[in-house]
Amino acid sequence: MGVSLNPSTILSGQGIDVSSLVQQIISEQSGQLTVWQEQQTTLATQEGLLEGQENNLTNLQTAVAALASPTGALTAQAATSSNTGVLTAAAGNTAVTATHQIVVTNLATAGTLYTDPIAAGANTSFLASGQTTGAIQLQVGGSGGTTHDIAITQGSNDTLTTLAAYINTQSTANSWGVTASVVSDTSGSRLALFSQSTGSGGALSLASNSNTTLAFDTPVGGTDAALTVDGVPFSSSSNTVTGAIQGVTLSLLGQSTSSDPVQLTVTPDTNQIANAVNNFVSAYNSVVSTINTQYVVDPTGATPAPPLESDLSLRSLQSSMLTDASYAVSVPGWPNSNGDASETVNLASMGINMNNDGTLTVGSNAAGQTFADFLAANPAAVQSFFQNASATGFANHFNTDLTNLTDATQGPLNVDLAQDQAEGQDLTSTITNFQTQLTAQTAALTSQYDSVNASLQAYPLLLQEMTETLATLGSSTSSSGATVNSGPTLTSGL
Protein backbone atom coordinates (compact mmCIF):
# COMPACT_ATOMS: atom_id res chain seq x y z
CA MET A 1 0.00 0.00 0.00
CA GLY A 2 1.40 3.42 -1.05
CA VAL A 3 1.87 6.47 1.14
CA SER A 4 -0.88 9.15 0.78
CA LEU A 5 -0.98 12.84 1.76
CA ASN A 6 -3.87 15.28 2.12
CA PRO A 7 -3.08 18.40 -0.02
CA SER A 8 -5.51 20.65 1.83
CA THR A 9 -3.83 19.77 5.10
CA ILE A 10 -0.24 20.16 4.04
CA LEU A 11 -0.91 23.51 2.32
CA SER A 12 -2.73 24.95 5.32
CA GLY A 13 0.48 25.45 7.25
CA GLN A 14 0.12 22.31 9.38
CA GLY A 15 2.79 20.59 7.35
CA ILE A 16 3.28 16.83 7.55
CA ASP A 17 3.85 14.28 10.36
CA VAL A 18 7.44 13.46 9.47
CA SER A 19 7.77 10.58 11.96
CA SER A 20 4.58 8.89 10.77
CA LEU A 21 5.47 9.41 7.10
CA VAL A 22 8.97 7.97 7.51
CA GLN A 23 7.59 5.04 9.50
CA GLN A 24 5.14 4.24 6.68
CA ILE A 25 7.92 4.27 4.11
CA ILE A 26 10.19 2.07 6.27
CA SER A 27 7.35 -0.35 7.05
CA GLU A 28 6.81 -0.84 3.33
CA GLN A 29 10.43 -2.03 3.08
CA SER A 30 10.73 -4.05 6.33
CA GLY A 31 8.29 -6.87 5.56
CA GLN A 32 11.19 -9.27 5.00
CA LEU A 33 12.46 -8.48 8.50
CA THR A 34 9.31 -10.00 9.99
CA VAL A 35 9.83 -13.15 7.93
CA TRP A 36 13.42 -13.49 9.14
CA GLN A 37 12.43 -12.90 12.75
CA GLU A 38 9.77 -15.60 12.53
CA GLN A 39 12.38 -17.98 11.12
CA GLN A 40 14.70 -17.02 13.95
CA THR A 41 12.00 -17.81 16.53
CA THR A 42 11.32 -21.18 14.90
CA LEU A 43 15.03 -22.07 14.95
CA ALA A 44 15.31 -21.06 18.61
CA THR A 45 12.35 -23.28 19.46
CA GLN A 46 13.88 -26.20 17.55
CA GLU A 47 17.22 -25.68 19.25
CA GLY A 48 15.58 -25.78 22.69
CA LEU A 49 13.77 -29.00 21.85
CA LEU A 50 16.89 -30.61 20.39
CA GLU A 51 18.97 -29.64 23.43
CA GLY A 52 16.30 -31.05 25.74
CA GLN A 53 16.17 -34.32 23.82
CA GLU A 54 19.95 -34.56 23.73
CA ASN A 55 19.94 -34.15 27.51
CA ASN A 56 17.36 -36.95 27.74
CA LEU A 57 19.62 -39.16 25.59
CA THR A 58 22.59 -38.42 27.82
CA ASN A 59 20.57 -39.38 30.90
CA LEU A 60 19.53 -42.59 29.17
CA GLN A 61 23.13 -43.42 28.31
CA THR A 62 24.11 -42.92 31.96
CA ALA A 63 21.35 -45.30 33.05
CA VAL A 64 22.26 -47.91 30.43
CA ALA A 65 25.99 -47.62 31.19
CA ALA A 66 25.20 -48.46 34.83
CA LEU A 67 23.55 -51.68 33.64
CA ALA A 68 26.47 -52.49 31.34
CA SER A 69 29.23 -51.82 33.87
CA PRO A 70 30.92 -54.95 35.26
CA THR A 71 31.35 -53.10 38.55
CA GLY A 72 27.94 -51.42 38.51
CA ALA A 73 24.64 -52.06 40.21
CA LEU A 74 24.07 -55.47 38.59
CA THR A 75 27.13 -56.88 40.33
CA ALA A 76 26.38 -55.22 43.67
CA GLN A 77 26.30 -57.51 46.68
CA ALA A 78 24.54 -57.05 50.02
CA ALA A 79 25.66 -58.45 53.37
CA THR A 80 23.01 -59.12 56.01
CA SER A 81 23.84 -59.80 59.67
CA SER A 82 21.59 -61.92 61.89
CA ASN A 83 22.65 -59.84 64.90
CA THR A 84 23.39 -56.19 64.17
CA GLY A 85 24.25 -55.62 67.83
CA VAL A 86 27.37 -57.74 67.34
CA LEU A 87 28.36 -56.84 63.81
CA THR A 88 27.24 -55.21 60.57
CA ALA A 89 28.87 -55.59 57.17
CA ALA A 90 29.17 -54.00 53.75
CA ALA A 91 29.80 -56.07 50.64
CA GLY A 92 31.63 -54.89 47.53
CA ASN A 93 31.24 -56.12 43.97
CA THR A 94 33.95 -58.77 44.45
CA ALA A 95 32.07 -60.44 47.31
CA VAL A 96 30.89 -63.99 46.68
CA THR A 97 27.38 -65.16 47.44
CA ALA A 98 27.63 -67.30 50.58
CA THR A 99 26.60 -67.64 54.23
CA HIS A 100 29.20 -67.35 57.00
CA GLN A 101 29.22 -68.13 60.73
CA ILE A 102 31.06 -65.52 62.77
CA VAL A 103 31.96 -65.41 66.48
CA VAL A 104 33.37 -62.18 67.96
CA THR A 105 35.25 -62.96 71.17
CA ASN A 106 36.94 -59.60 71.71
CA LEU A 107 36.68 -56.03 70.42
CA ALA A 108 39.68 -53.88 69.60
CA THR A 109 40.18 -51.25 72.31
CA ALA A 110 42.29 -48.14 72.72
CA GLY A 111 44.96 -48.05 75.41
CA THR A 112 44.33 -45.99 78.55
CA LEU A 113 46.69 -45.00 81.36
CA TYR A 114 45.76 -42.79 84.30
CA THR A 115 47.06 -41.68 87.69
CA ASP A 116 45.65 -41.88 91.18
CA PRO A 117 43.80 -38.70 92.13
CA ILE A 118 45.65 -35.71 93.55
CA ALA A 119 43.44 -34.29 96.26
CA ALA A 120 45.04 -30.85 96.10
CA GLY A 121 43.84 -30.41 92.53
CA ALA A 122 45.09 -30.11 88.97
CA ASN A 123 47.18 -26.98 89.56
CA THR A 124 49.36 -28.26 92.37
CA SER A 125 52.97 -29.33 91.71
CA PHE A 126 53.45 -33.09 91.77
CA LEU A 127 57.26 -32.98 92.00
CA ALA A 128 58.68 -34.84 94.97
CA SER A 129 59.60 -32.72 97.99
CA GLY A 130 62.75 -30.75 97.40
CA GLN A 131 62.91 -31.65 93.68
CA THR A 132 62.90 -29.11 90.88
CA THR A 133 62.95 -31.60 87.99
CA GLY A 134 61.62 -35.05 87.28
CA ALA A 135 60.99 -37.45 84.39
CA ILE A 136 58.36 -39.82 83.09
CA GLN A 137 58.89 -42.35 80.35
CA LEU A 138 55.76 -43.35 78.45
CA GLN A 139 55.64 -46.50 76.33
CA VAL A 140 53.23 -46.83 73.38
CA GLY A 141 52.61 -50.22 71.77
CA GLY A 142 53.07 -52.60 74.68
CA SER A 143 56.30 -54.03 76.06
CA GLY A 144 58.04 -53.88 72.71
CA GLY A 145 56.65 -50.49 71.79
CA THR A 146 58.18 -47.04 71.47
CA THR A 147 59.17 -45.04 74.57
CA HIS A 148 58.80 -41.28 74.89
CA ASP A 149 60.74 -39.29 77.49
CA ILE A 150 58.83 -36.54 79.27
CA ALA A 151 61.04 -34.15 81.20
CA ILE A 152 59.35 -32.36 84.12
CA THR A 153 60.53 -28.87 85.13
CA GLN A 154 59.31 -26.93 88.14
CA GLY A 155 57.11 -24.00 87.15
CA SER A 156 56.80 -25.26 83.58
CA ASN A 157 54.95 -28.57 83.42
CA ASP A 158 54.87 -29.84 87.02
CA THR A 159 51.07 -29.69 87.47
CA LEU A 160 48.47 -31.97 85.95
CA THR A 161 47.10 -29.08 83.89
CA THR A 162 50.45 -27.99 82.46
CA LEU A 163 51.66 -31.57 82.00
CA ALA A 164 48.57 -32.52 79.99
CA ALA A 165 49.10 -29.51 77.73
CA TYR A 166 52.79 -30.36 77.34
CA ILE A 167 52.09 -34.00 76.41
CA ASN A 168 49.48 -32.97 73.83
CA THR A 169 51.94 -30.54 72.24
CA GLN A 170 54.70 -33.16 72.09
CA SER A 171 52.32 -35.85 70.81
CA THR A 172 51.14 -33.63 67.96
CA ALA A 173 54.63 -32.49 67.02
CA ASN A 174 56.21 -35.95 67.22
CA SER A 175 53.33 -38.24 66.29
CA TRP A 176 53.07 -40.08 69.59
CA GLY A 177 49.44 -40.95 68.96
CA VAL A 178 48.48 -40.02 72.53
CA THR A 179 45.95 -37.55 73.97
CA ALA A 180 46.22 -36.25 77.57
CA SER A 181 43.53 -34.68 79.71
CA VAL A 182 42.71 -33.90 83.32
CA VAL A 183 39.64 -35.53 84.86
CA SER A 184 38.27 -34.57 88.25
CA ASP A 185 35.79 -35.97 90.76
CA THR A 186 35.18 -35.70 94.50
CA SER A 187 38.44 -37.51 95.27
CA GLY A 188 40.60 -35.03 93.30
CA SER A 189 42.13 -34.73 89.84
CA ARG A 190 43.81 -37.35 87.65
CA LEU A 191 45.99 -37.30 84.56
CA ALA A 192 44.39 -39.52 81.91
CA LEU A 193 46.27 -40.65 78.80
CA PHE A 194 44.41 -42.16 75.84
CA SER A 195 45.79 -43.84 72.75
CA GLN A 196 44.49 -42.42 69.48
CA SER A 197 44.38 -45.90 67.92
CA THR A 198 42.92 -49.24 68.91
CA GLY A 199 44.63 -52.59 69.14
CA SER A 200 47.87 -53.72 70.69
CA GLY A 201 49.75 -51.01 68.82
CA GLY A 202 47.87 -48.45 70.92
CA ALA A 203 48.57 -50.07 74.31
CA LEU A 204 49.98 -47.60 76.86
CA SER A 205 52.25 -48.29 79.81
CA LEU A 206 54.64 -46.45 82.13
CA ALA A 207 58.30 -47.36 81.58
CA SER A 208 59.74 -45.17 84.35
CA ASN A 209 58.76 -42.42 86.79
CA SER A 210 61.32 -40.42 88.75
CA ASN A 211 61.13 -37.51 91.22
CA THR A 212 57.31 -37.19 91.03
CA THR A 213 54.48 -38.08 93.38
CA LEU A 214 52.35 -39.37 90.52
CA ALA A 215 51.09 -42.94 90.98
CA PHE A 216 49.94 -44.62 87.77
CA ASP A 217 47.32 -47.38 87.84
CA THR A 218 47.49 -50.56 85.80
CA PRO A 219 46.99 -49.76 82.10
CA VAL A 220 43.76 -50.89 80.47
CA GLY A 221 42.76 -51.50 76.86
CA GLY A 222 45.12 -51.66 73.93
CA THR A 223 43.89 -55.07 72.78
CA ASP A 224 43.22 -56.46 69.33
CA ALA A 225 39.85 -57.65 68.13
CA ALA A 226 39.49 -61.43 67.98
CA LEU A 227 36.97 -63.33 65.91
CA THR A 228 36.45 -66.52 63.98
CA VAL A 229 34.91 -66.75 60.53
CA ASP A 230 33.63 -70.22 59.68
CA GLY A 231 35.97 -71.53 62.40
CA VAL A 232 39.08 -69.71 61.11
CA PRO A 233 40.58 -67.33 63.73
CA PHE A 234 41.35 -63.70 62.88
CA SER A 235 42.71 -60.77 64.82
CA SER A 236 42.52 -57.08 63.97
CA SER A 237 43.84 -53.88 65.50
CA SER A 238 40.62 -52.21 64.42
CA ASN A 239 36.96 -53.06 64.81
CA THR A 240 36.65 -52.50 61.08
CA VAL A 241 37.85 -55.78 59.60
CA THR A 242 38.72 -56.40 55.96
CA GLY A 243 40.24 -59.51 54.44
CA ALA A 244 38.46 -62.05 56.59
CA ILE A 245 35.78 -62.49 53.89
CA GLN A 246 36.49 -61.62 50.25
CA GLY A 247 34.97 -58.27 49.28
CA VAL A 248 33.29 -57.80 52.68
CA THR A 249 34.05 -55.22 55.37
CA LEU A 250 32.98 -56.18 58.88
CA SER A 251 32.14 -53.62 61.55
CA LEU A 252 32.46 -55.21 64.99
CA LEU A 253 30.14 -53.77 67.63
CA GLY A 254 29.88 -56.39 70.37
CA GLN A 255 30.79 -59.90 71.47
CA SER A 256 29.14 -63.23 70.76
CA THR A 257 29.67 -66.85 71.73
CA SER A 258 30.44 -70.00 69.81
CA SER A 259 27.06 -71.32 70.84
CA ASP A 260 25.32 -68.32 69.28
CA PRO A 261 27.34 -67.26 66.23
CA VAL A 262 26.29 -64.43 63.96
CA GLN A 263 25.11 -65.55 60.55
CA LEU A 264 26.29 -63.27 57.76
CA THR A 265 24.58 -63.76 54.42
CA VAL A 266 26.08 -62.33 51.23
CA THR A 267 23.66 -62.14 48.31
CA PRO A 268 23.17 -60.02 45.17
CA ASP A 269 21.80 -56.60 46.12
CA THR A 270 18.40 -56.84 44.44
CA ASN A 271 17.44 -53.35 45.67
CA GLN A 272 20.33 -51.78 43.76
CA ILE A 273 19.58 -53.90 40.70
CA ALA A 274 15.89 -52.97 40.73
CA ASN A 275 16.71 -49.27 41.15
CA ALA A 276 19.12 -49.40 38.21
CA VAL A 277 16.52 -51.09 35.98
CA ASN A 278 13.81 -48.62 37.03
CA ASN A 279 16.19 -45.72 36.30
CA PHE A 280 16.74 -47.15 32.82
CA VAL A 281 13.00 -47.51 32.15
CA SER A 282 12.34 -43.96 33.36
CA ALA A 283 15.14 -42.48 31.25
CA TYR A 284 14.07 -44.48 28.18
CA ASN A 285 10.46 -43.35 28.55
CA SER A 286 11.55 -39.71 28.77
CA VAL A 287 13.29 -40.02 25.40
CA VAL A 288 10.42 -41.82 23.67
CA SER A 289 7.66 -39.66 25.20
CA THR A 290 9.43 -36.49 24.11
CA ILE A 291 9.77 -37.83 20.57
CA ASN A 292 6.08 -38.72 20.54
CA THR A 293 5.08 -35.12 21.26
CA GLN A 294 6.46 -34.13 17.86
CA TYR A 295 4.14 -36.51 16.01
CA VAL A 296 0.79 -35.52 17.47
CA VAL A 297 -1.71 -35.10 14.60
CA ASP A 298 -4.64 -32.68 14.81
CA PRO A 299 -7.24 -33.98 12.29
CA THR A 300 -8.94 -30.57 12.20
CA GLY A 301 -5.73 -28.84 11.14
CA ALA A 302 -6.36 -26.12 13.69
CA THR A 303 -3.16 -26.80 15.61
CA PRO A 304 0.16 -25.97 13.92
CA ALA A 305 2.50 -28.86 13.25
CA PRO A 306 5.04 -29.49 16.04
CA PRO A 307 8.42 -27.78 15.43
CA LEU A 308 10.35 -31.02 14.84
CA GLU A 309 7.68 -32.98 12.98
CA SER A 310 9.71 -32.98 9.74
CA ASP A 311 13.08 -33.61 11.44
CA LEU A 312 14.44 -36.80 9.87
CA SER A 313 17.02 -37.31 12.61
CA LEU A 314 14.28 -37.44 15.19
CA ARG A 315 12.45 -40.12 13.23
CA SER A 316 15.70 -42.05 12.94
CA LEU A 317 16.20 -41.75 16.69
CA GLN A 318 12.68 -43.04 17.31
CA SER A 319 13.40 -46.07 15.14
CA SER A 320 16.68 -46.72 16.97
CA MET A 321 14.97 -46.57 20.38
CA LEU A 322 12.30 -49.08 19.39
CA THR A 323 14.86 -51.42 17.83
CA ASP A 324 17.20 -51.26 20.83
CA ALA A 325 14.37 -51.84 23.30
CA SER A 326 13.31 -54.94 21.34
CA TYR A 327 16.82 -56.42 21.30
CA ALA A 328 16.92 -60.10 22.29
CA VAL A 329 19.78 -61.92 24.00
CA SER A 330 20.72 -65.60 24.09
CA VAL A 331 21.15 -66.49 27.77
CA PRO A 332 22.41 -69.93 28.89
CA GLY A 333 20.30 -71.64 31.53
CA TRP A 334 17.44 -69.13 31.41
CA PRO A 335 14.80 -69.87 34.07
CA ASN A 336 11.53 -71.49 32.99
CA SER A 337 13.11 -72.63 29.73
CA ASN A 338 12.46 -76.01 28.20
CA GLY A 339 15.80 -77.38 29.24
CA ASP A 340 17.63 -75.90 26.26
CA ALA A 341 21.27 -74.97 26.70
CA SER A 342 20.33 -71.33 26.11
CA GLU A 343 17.25 -69.32 25.32
CA THR A 344 16.77 -66.10 23.37
CA VAL A 345 14.95 -63.65 25.60
CA ASN A 346 14.05 -59.96 25.72
CA LEU A 347 12.84 -57.41 28.25
CA ALA A 348 9.33 -58.88 28.24
CA SER A 349 10.75 -62.23 29.41
CA MET A 350 11.49 -60.55 32.76
CA GLY A 351 8.24 -58.56 32.93
CA ILE A 352 9.36 -55.29 31.29
CA ASN A 353 6.81 -54.73 28.54
CA MET A 354 6.53 -52.27 25.65
CA ASN A 355 3.37 -50.18 25.40
CA ASN A 356 1.61 -49.15 22.18
CA ASP A 357 3.34 -45.75 22.22
CA GLY A 358 6.79 -47.33 22.48
CA THR A 359 7.31 -46.61 26.19
CA LEU A 360 8.13 -49.37 28.71
CA THR A 361 6.28 -50.56 31.81
CA VAL A 362 7.72 -52.70 34.60
CA GLY A 363 5.02 -55.34 35.04
CA SER A 364 4.76 -59.12 34.66
CA ASN A 365 6.09 -61.64 32.14
CA ALA A 366 4.09 -64.25 30.24
CA ALA A 367 4.39 -66.66 33.19
CA GLY A 368 2.73 -64.13 35.48
CA GLN A 369 5.90 -63.26 37.42
CA THR A 370 6.45 -59.64 38.30
CA PHE A 371 9.87 -58.25 37.57
CA ALA A 372 10.52 -57.99 41.32
CA ASP A 373 9.70 -61.69 41.82
CA PHE A 374 11.74 -62.74 38.80
CA LEU A 375 14.73 -60.72 40.03
CA ALA A 376 14.51 -62.10 43.56
CA ALA A 377 14.50 -65.65 42.21
CA ASN A 378 16.99 -65.20 39.36
CA PRO A 379 19.45 -62.32 39.97
CA ALA A 380 22.19 -64.05 37.97
CA ALA A 381 19.87 -64.45 34.96
CA VAL A 382 18.98 -60.74 35.06
CA GLN A 383 22.67 -59.84 35.10
CA SER A 384 23.40 -62.22 32.20
CA PHE A 385 20.62 -60.65 30.13
CA PHE A 386 21.91 -57.10 30.55
CA GLN A 387 25.65 -57.79 30.37
CA ASN A 388 28.05 -60.60 29.56
CA ALA A 389 31.73 -61.23 28.92
CA SER A 390 31.31 -61.06 25.14
CA ALA A 391 29.65 -57.61 25.43
CA THR A 392 26.53 -58.82 23.60
CA GLY A 393 24.12 -58.27 26.47
CA PHE A 394 21.12 -55.96 26.19
CA ALA A 395 22.83 -53.09 28.02
CA ASN A 396 26.14 -53.68 26.21
CA HIS A 397 24.40 -53.38 22.83
CA PHE A 398 22.24 -50.41 23.83
CA ASN A 399 25.22 -48.56 25.33
CA THR A 400 27.20 -48.90 22.10
CA ASP A 401 24.31 -47.44 20.11
CA LEU A 402 23.83 -44.58 22.58
CA THR A 403 27.53 -43.76 22.41
CA ASN A 404 27.10 -43.13 18.68
CA LEU A 405 23.80 -41.31 19.08
CA THR A 406 25.21 -38.88 21.66
CA ASP A 407 28.53 -38.25 19.92
CA ALA A 408 29.28 -34.53 20.23
CA THR A 409 30.02 -34.07 16.53
CA GLN A 410 28.47 -37.07 14.75
CA GLY A 411 25.37 -37.71 16.84
CA PRO A 412 22.26 -36.99 14.70
CA LEU A 413 20.66 -34.57 17.15
CA ASN A 414 23.93 -32.74 17.70
CA VAL A 415 24.38 -32.46 13.92
CA ASP A 416 20.88 -30.95 13.62
CA LEU A 417 21.55 -28.67 16.55
CA ALA A 418 24.80 -27.42 14.99
CA GLN A 419 23.00 -26.73 11.70
CA ASP A 420 20.20 -24.84 13.45
CA GLN A 421 22.70 -22.81 15.43
CA ALA A 422 24.64 -21.93 12.28
CA GLU A 423 21.43 -20.88 10.51
CA GLY A 424 20.44 -18.88 13.56
CA GLN A 425 23.76 -17.06 13.58
CA ASP A 426 23.42 -16.28 9.86
CA LEU A 427 19.92 -14.94 10.40
CA THR A 428 21.07 -12.85 13.31
CA SER A 429 23.80 -11.30 11.16
CA THR A 430 21.35 -10.70 8.28
CA ILE A 431 18.80 -9.10 10.59
CA THR A 432 21.43 -6.94 12.25
CA ASN A 433 22.75 -5.70 8.90
CA PHE A 434 19.24 -5.04 7.60
CA GLN A 435 18.29 -3.16 10.77
CA THR A 436 21.45 -1.08 10.43
CA GLN A 437 20.42 -0.19 6.87
CA LEU A 438 16.88 0.69 7.99
CA THR A 439 18.26 2.88 10.78
CA ALA A 440 20.44 4.77 8.29
CA GLN A 441 17.57 5.09 5.84
CA THR A 442 15.25 6.31 8.61
CA ALA A 443 17.74 9.03 9.52
CA ALA A 444 18.14 10.12 5.89
CA LEU A 445 14.39 10.20 5.23
CA THR A 446 13.74 12.08 8.45
CA SER A 447 16.28 14.72 7.48
CA GLN A 448 14.82 15.01 3.97
CA TYR A 449 11.21 15.32 5.08
CA ASP A 450 12.09 17.67 7.93
CA SER A 451 13.31 20.08 5.23
CA VAL A 452 10.15 19.58 3.15
CA ASN A 453 8.00 20.05 6.25
CA ALA A 454 9.70 23.32 7.07
CA SER A 455 8.86 24.61 3.56
CA LEU A 456 5.26 23.45 3.80
CA GLN A 457 4.77 25.10 7.18
CA ALA A 458 6.10 28.41 5.71
CA TYR A 459 3.84 28.20 2.64
CA PRO A 460 0.76 30.13 4.00
CA LEU A 461 2.91 33.07 5.09
CA LEU A 462 4.69 33.16 1.73
CA LEU A 463 1.34 32.99 -0.08
CA GLN A 464 0.00 35.86 2.00
CA GLU A 465 3.05 38.01 1.29
CA MET A 466 2.81 37.35 -2.45
CA THR A 467 -0.91 38.10 -2.49
CA GLU A 468 -0.43 41.40 -0.70
CA THR A 469 2.40 42.38 -3.05
CA LEU A 470 0.45 41.56 -6.18
CA ALA A 471 -2.62 43.39 -4.86
CA THR A 472 -0.59 46.57 -4.39
CA LEU A 473 0.93 46.38 -7.85
CA GLY A 474 -2.41 45.90 -9.64
CA SER A 475 -4.67 48.55 -7.87
CA SER A 476 -6.17 51.84 -9.61
CA THR A 477 -8.78 54.64 -8.91
CA SER A 478 -12.04 55.10 -10.88
CA SER A 479 -13.61 58.47 -11.98
CA SER A 480 -15.91 58.26 -8.98
CA GLY A 481 -12.96 57.89 -6.64
CA ALA A 482 -13.35 54.12 -5.94
CA THR A 483 -10.35 51.80 -6.01
CA VAL A 484 -10.49 49.12 -8.66
CA ASN A 485 -8.30 45.97 -8.38
CA SER A 486 -7.45 44.81 -11.84
CA GLY A 487 -4.42 42.63 -10.86
CA PRO A 488 -4.31 38.83 -10.64
CA THR A 489 -5.77 36.92 -7.62
CA LEU A 490 -3.85 33.98 -5.90
CA THR A 491 -5.63 31.12 -4.23
CA SER A 492 -4.27 28.37 -1.99
CA GLY A 493 -6.17 25.61 -3.70
CA LEU A 494 -4.53 23.14 -6.05
List alpha helices for 359-411, DSSP H.
Answer: 371-377, 379-386, 394-405
Give 138's contacts (C-beta < 8 A, 6+ positions apart): 113, 147, 148, 150, 167, 176, 178, 193, 204, 205, 206, 207
CB 308 within 8 A of CB 46: yes
Which range scores top for mean pLDDT: 69-73, 305-309, 457-461? Answer: 69-73
Mean pLDDT value of segment 396-422:
86
- Residue 449 pLDDT > 90: no
CB 140 within 8 A of CB 129: no
Name the average pLDDT for the chain.
88
Is 341 or 62 the better-scoring residue by pLDDT?
A: 62
Is 486 or 317 the better-scoring residue by pLDDT?
A: 317
| pLDDT attached to residue 337 | 62
Mean pLDDT value of segment 191-210:
96
* Cα 347 to Cα 248: distance, rounded to the nearest angstrom: 32
Is 398 or 343 the better-scoring residue by pLDDT?
A: 398
- Residue 490 pLDDT > 80: no
| pLDDT attached to residue 494 | 46
pLDDT in tens, 146-185: 999 999 999 999 999 999 999 999 999 999 999 999 999 9
Is 297 or 384 the better-scoring residue by pLDDT?
A: 384
State the pLDDT confidence band at 471, using cuts at 50, 70 and 90. Answer: confident
User: What's the pTM?
Assistant: 0.71
CB 95 within 8 A of CB 76: no
Name the residue type at position 195: S
Is 2 or 188 the better-scoring residue by pLDDT?
A: 188
| pLDDT attached to residue 34 | 78
From residue 307, alpha-carbon distances to 49, 209, 302, 417 in Å are 8, 89, 15, 13
* 329-332 and 204-210 strand pairing: unpaired
* Cα 428 to Cα 170: distance, rounded to the nearest angstrom: 71
Ramachandran area for residue 177 (φ above 0: left; ψ -120 to 50: alpha; else beta): left
- Residue 24: phi and psi, rounded to 5, are -65, -45
Q: Could you give the strand order of the β-sheet that contains 178-185, starting from the edge strand earlier in sequence?
A: 110-114, 188-198, 178-185
- Residue 341 pLDDT > 80: no
| pLDDT attached to residue 2 | 54
* Cα 353 to Cα 346: distance, rounded to the nearest angstrom: 9
- Residue 88 pLDDT > 60: yes
